[in-house]
């Protein structure tokens, strides 16, 4: 984590053991990653973050491939390379392709994305770039996914914009 703007938490630094354990439980090989070590500078933040993002990543009904698609697009739009590097492999593992990964980094929505993916990308682009989202797009999402998954898609975009802004601001 060269160049990070705050000193990362280190193994052996004070921290609630249950918090560190819950953070490790969400990670491959139970290894804390860069963002975890910065979050542990504030235990209340780390606790809330771990709960929210854990649920977005693991408990939503919106298909994991769609969630990872959104996460990658947010990372690309916000130039959050750490986020991209974490979520690209997860997107590929969930069913994404290298061609789609390349297209996520380009302007516009490539025709290789299907109707559902394109609607999710339009949501991600509008929310990330403009904050406001067109009501007709929300209606389209509701017709494609239902209300619950539309809410989950919007929440995924919002949550990962929070993540990318945190990462970019602190040079993680």
In a domain, 8, yes or no: no
pLDDT by residue (tens digit) across 17-68? 999 999 999 998 999 999 999 999 999 999 999 999 999 999 999 999 999 9
Helix, strand and coil in the chain, % to nearest 5:
70, 0, 30
54 with 124, same domain? no
72 with 105, same domain? yes
78 with 101, same domain? yes
pLDDT by residue (tens digit) across 62-106? 999 999 999 999 999 999 999 999 999 999 999 999 999 999 999
127 with 74, same domain? yes
In a domain, 1, yes or no: no
157 with 93, same domain? yes
22: containing domain? 17-58
CATH code of 158's domain: 1.20.1290.10
Q: What gap in Å lies between CA 104 and CA 68, rounded to an integer?
A: 11
Encode burial over 103-131: b for 16+ CB neighbours within 10 A, e otherwise: bbeeeebeeebeebbbbbbbbbbbbbeee
Q: Examine the pLDDT at 1 and tell me if it is beyond 70.
A: no
In a domain, 5, yes or no: no
68 with 145, same domain? yes
What pLDDT is stored for residue 28 in this prediction?
87
143 with 122, same domain? yes
- State how many domains the chain has: 2
Cα–chain center distance at 144: 21
Report yes or no on whether pTM surpasses 0.75: yes
């Amino acid at each position: 984590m060269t160049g990070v703007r705050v000193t990362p938490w280190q193994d052996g630094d004070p921290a609630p053991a249950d918090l560190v354990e819950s953070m490790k439980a969400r990670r491959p090989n139970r290894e804390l990653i860069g963002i975890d070590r910065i979050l542990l500078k504030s235990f209340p933040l780390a606790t809330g973050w771990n709960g929210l993002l854990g649920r977005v990543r693991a408990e939503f009904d919106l298909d994991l491939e769609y969630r990872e698609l959104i996460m990658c697009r947010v990372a690309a739009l916000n130039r959050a390379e750490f986020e991209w590097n974490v979520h690209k492999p997860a997107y590929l593992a969930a069913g994404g392709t290298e061609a789609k990964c390349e297209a996520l980094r380009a302007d516009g929505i490539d025709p290789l994305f299907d109707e559902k993916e394109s609607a999710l990308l339009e949501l991600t682009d509008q929310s990330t770039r403009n904050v406001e989202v067109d009501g007709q797009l929300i209606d389209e999402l509701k017709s494609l996914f239902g209300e619950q998954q539309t809410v989950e898609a919007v929440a995924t975009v919002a949550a990962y914009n929070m993540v990318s802004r945190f990462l970019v601001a602190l040079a993680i």
